[in-house]
Structure 1
Amino acid sequence: VLPATVGVPEAADCADIDPLAFEDAVSELCRRDGCSDVQVVGGAGDLGADVLATTPDGRRLVIQCKCYGAGHKVGSQDLQRFGGTCYAVHDADLAVVVTTSEFTDPAVDYATQCAILCFDGAFLGAWNNGTGPAPWEL
């Protein structure tokens, strides 16, 4: 039996959605799949973290959420801003950037160097509908 979806938006819907609604949906996926201490901390002054949680195996999860339309890829600058805080400020054991769209090649390269997991729209959709893994299962 697949878990219930939580209404994570598709890239096409991002122009019409409040970024906080996307962060809430991602936090609900974390809760649904066994995370504890889930908090939405996004907004001005969030220092790069939108969702904080403890994974089912006890790791500190720090997620940056990017609700972007299909033509708007997450770039290297987005990853660099997150990379500067996810470990040093937020004490992440696992740092993840989740987007409804895709990542540029330089963003993926940076993420690989800094141990940041890039979770694109395809992974997000599969996580949401229960056919793919949660980020901490990869």
Structure 2
Amino acid sequence: MVLATAAMVGWRLWRMDRLLRRSDGQWRHEEAVKAGHRTLAEVDRMDGGEFEDFVLELCRRDGCTDLKRVGRSHDDGADVLGRLPDGRTMVIQCKRNTPKRRIPSREIRDLLGTRVHFGAEVAIFVTTTYFSGPSVRTAVQNGVLAVHRDHLGQWNNGATLLSLRDVNGLGQGDRRHHQRWRDTYSS
């Protein structure tokens, strides 16, 4: 009888521990999502509007002000408008694409026109994929902050938007990196 009671108490304690750990894990995940920390796989599953909201929340976390999501049809190439923490006006173009697709240079040129149209001082292009070589060169030569997949992961994990200027145009890997990346997403 004592052994059966001890076994029952042990089982209940184990069960309670499992339930508490599971609910703690869920709570931590929900808090991370609220704070803007999502995995890139979760970001990949977002639709375009959710991705624009996600980028807006990252901007808000970094101290950007006067933020407004304008991305819809007939948005004149802007998805988010606002001010950087230093007061400069910004326009952000968001592209949530499949990881295999590259951003062509014409999309960077379109963003340059959007910057002029909105009178923004800073143009930022945020994507869930990578930029083509010519698009990176166009962005860097024209002062566009090009936030590709790797930089988006850093931004999501706590790096500030303005700190990404220091690595603008870098970090897309070499040919072997790209081949491993393509092989991963083609399976």
Q: Deviations over 1:47-66 (max 9, x none)?
A: 11101111111010111001
1:24 and 1:114 map into 2 onto residues whose CA distance is 26
Asked which structure has the greater RCO (Cα within 8 Å, sep 6+), the reply is: 1
Contact 1:12 1:70 in 2 (8 A): no
2:63 and 2:90 map into 1 onto residues whose CA distance is 12
Contact 1:11 1:69 in 2 (8 A): no
Q: How many residues align?
A: 131
Report what 2:24 is aligned to: none
Identity of aligned residues (%): 40
SS at match of 2:117: coil
Report what 2:154 is aligned to: 126
1:91 and 1:30 map into 2 onto residues whose CA distance is 19
Contact 1:11 1:68 in 2 (8 A): no
Report what 2:36 is aligned to: 6
Structure 2 vs 1, CA of residues 67 and 37 (structure 1 numbering), >3 Å: closer, same or farther?
same
| Moved beyond 4 Å, runs of 4+ | none
Structure 2 vs 1, CA of residues 43 and 114 (structure 1 numbering), >3 Å: closer, same or farther?
same
Alignment of 1:12-91 (within 5 A): 14=44, 16-86=45-115, 88-91=116-119
SS at match of 1:122: helix
2:126 and 2:142 map into 1 onto residues whose CA distance is 16
Alignment partner of 1:92 out of 104, 120, 126: 120
Unaligned runs of 5+ in 2: 1-31, 166-187
- Root mean square deviation of aligned Cα: 1.8
Q: TM-score if structure 2 supplies the norm length? A: 0.65
Report what 2:133 is aligned to: 105
